[in-house]
Amino acid sequence: MSQDCIFCKIISGEIPSKKIFENDHVLAFEDSNPVAPVHALIVPKKHYTDILEISSSEEGRADLCHLMAALTQISEELGVDERGFRLINNCGEEGGQTVLHVHFHLIGGKKLGAGLI
Ligand code: 5GP
Ligand code: ZN
């Protein structure tokens, strides 16, 4: 838990969220400012700043596997498992990361554009 991290506060329940999926390692909840009909955030319960930090330890890599392992259930819960979706990670300032607790955006519910930017 990082003291002033919004997502750690969501994980602890201090800040409310619309939960989609939860297990011992992973939480998925609705983004408060959705950019598409489906916009979920998938986070590890342990605090890591970004994708580089979570990738740099054995424990972090195990948590990354837990995030990916939860994808099937999360996409089913959101009703996009057959339709498809986009999974995005923003890293650092130029990557557009605004919340410094690593997370994946799961975006879908409509036909998304082909471009990356
Ligand atoms: P980033 O820009 O770091 O990749 O994404 C951060 C995301 O967190 C944004 O899409 C933003 O809408 C979302 N967000 C920020 N604060 C909150 C919050 O308090 N609750 C929820 N559910 N989403 C948040
Ligand atoms: Zn955090």
Residue 96 belongs to domain with CATH number: 3.30.428.10
Asked about 103 being catalytic, the answer comes back as yes
Residue 113 lies in a domain: no
Report pLDDT for 116: 79
As for how many domains the chain has, the answer is 1
- For 49-65, the DSSP string reads SSHHHHHTSHHHHHHHH
Residue 1 lies in a domain: no
Report pLDDT for 1: 72
Residue 44 lies in a domain: yes
Domain residue limits at 22: 6-108
Is 97 near ligand 1, meaning CB less than 6 Å away? yes
Is 90 near ligand 1, meaning CB less than 6 Å away? yes
Residue with CA at minimum distance from ligand 1 atom 18:
32
SS3 for 11-49, per residue? Answer: HHCCCCCCEEEECCCEEEEECCCCCCCEEEEEEECCCCC
Report pLDDT for 115: 83
Give, for all 117 residues of the chain, the pLDDT tens digit.
Answer: 777 999 999 999 999 999 999 999 999 999 999 999 999 999 999 999 999 999 999 999 999 999 999 999 999 999 999 999 999 999 999 999 999 999 999 999 999 999 877
Residue 116 lies in a domain: no
Which atom of ligand 1 lies at the shortest distance from residue 17's CA?
Answer: 22
Is 96 near ligand 1, meaning CB less than 6 Å away? yes
Report pLDDT for 3: 76
Report pLDDT for 26: 98
Residue 14 lies in a domain: yes
Residue 93 lies in a domain: yes
* pTM of the shown model: 0.97
